[in-house]
Chains A and B, each alone.
Chain A
Amino acid sequence: MSRAIKVFLNGFIKENPSFILLLGMCPTLGTTSSAINGMSMGLATTFVLICSNVAISLIKNIVPDKVRIPSYIVVIATFVSVLELAMHAYMPAIYETLGLFIPLIVVNCIVLGRAEAFAAKNNFMLSAVDGLGNGLGFAFALTVLGSIRELLGTGMIFGVSVYPEQYGMLAFVLAPGAFIALGLLIAIVNRIKSRTQNV
């Protein structure tokens, strides 16, 4: 049990895919124009991560070593297609806003990275926990970045108004703000990291 908690926290905080490892930068920047978009993208990726981690840890002994990467990609692509069809049917509004980024979960380096680094070596229970930890860590990072951009850009968080919209800096909702907000966030994380290491 304690091992599972350790694995979860490792993915969620210590090796947070977005803030520490800097993986999956495309959806991190592209889908965080608002908190709700960032969160739905994060949760969509979590779903794929858990499913692919479980599936890959179950088939790891059957798949020959030489063709493992292509077979992992097929597994991941299958779950992405499942997700894409399900979202299209049940959540058409979110499907429209996230658009191209849903099929692009296939090429998100986090998913293949966890498959290769963790699921290929561990049993399926731990792999599921690892997928959950990394996925939620990613979702958390995207929600934070989305909230900051939405707050600075439009004065709202999750659509709830905090201050009047005309004082917002629209650039933060648009492309440049994504880069700048993420840059500053990573700088803050670096700062906290070096502080805690010195103590």
Chain B
Amino acid sequence: MAHYLIIFVVAVFVNNIVLSQFLGICPFLGVSKRMDTAIGMSGAVAFVMTIATIVTFILQKCLLEPLGLGFMQTIAFILVIAFLVQLVEIVLKKISPSLYQALGVFLPLITTNCTILGVAIMVIQKNFTLLESVVFAISTAIGFGLALVLFAGIREQLSFVKVPKSMEGIPSALIAAGILAMAFMGFSGIVKI
């Protein structure tokens, strides 16, 4: 149990996917202007990331490795993820229209979100078991959501502040993200990896 807790803490705080590993910067900067879109995006990422990690893990262990097709990993994973996002969209539309309403617009954006492919490859590199991979995927998604929601809160305030013209928008947001990353650096060292 403690083992899974460590995976959780490391993925959420110590090695936060956005603020210390630099994955998923595009949605981090793109949809963090308002709180509600930030929450919607984090929800969609959490949903797809968990499913995608399970499917790619099984694909790797049951198909690619026994057949010696390890070099096909990148192509196979990106296709599976693209297919999966479409599938999730169709299924969600049918089963739970309210959830689809909330997450719908963010789903197509996720195919090009590098966190999904990144986590799928990471769990293979780290030699996780299936259960560990699921825990890792969920915790990473929570870390992504945490960073996104915190940052959206900061940016909502930032929009009221007068900044020099060249610093408006992305530059000031990046510097705010830098300070947030500095705060997250304080977590490094709480768990020995």
- A: residues with CB less than 8 A from B are 22, 25-27, 29-30, 70, 73-74, 77-78, 80-81, 84-85, 100, 103-104, 106-109, 112, 171, 174-180, 182-184, 186-188, 190-191, 194
B23 and A74 form a contact (CB under 8 A)? no
Q: Contacting A180 at CB < 8 Å: which of B71, B165, B178?
A: B178
Using CB atoms, name the residue of chain A closest to B182: A176
Decide: A26 near B174, CB < 8 A? Known: A80-B74, A107-B114, A191-B166: no
CA of A177 to CA of B114 in the docked complex: distance in angstroms? Answer: 21
Using CB atoms, name the residue of chain A closest to B72: A81
Decide: A179 near B166, CB < 8 A? Known: A77-B78, A190-B171: no
Contacts A78-B75, A103-B73 known; list 15 others, CB within 8 Å: A77-B74, A77-B75, A81-B72, A100-B23, A100-B118, A100-B121, A100-B125, A104-B114, A106-B74, A175-B184, A177-B178, A179-B174, A183-B167, A183-B172, A194-B166
**Contact mask B22-36 → A, CB, 8 Å, 1/0?**
111110010000000
Decide: A184 near B171, CB < 8 A? Known: A104-B118, A107-B114, A109-B26: yes
Give the total of B residues in contact with A, Cβ under 8 Å. 43
Q: Contacting B23 at CB < 8 Å: which of A30, A70, A190, A191?
A: A30
Q: Contacting B82 at CB < 8 Å: which of A22, A73, A179?
A: A73
Using CB atoms, name the residue of chain A closest to B21: A30
B174 and A180 form a contact (CB under 8 A)? yes
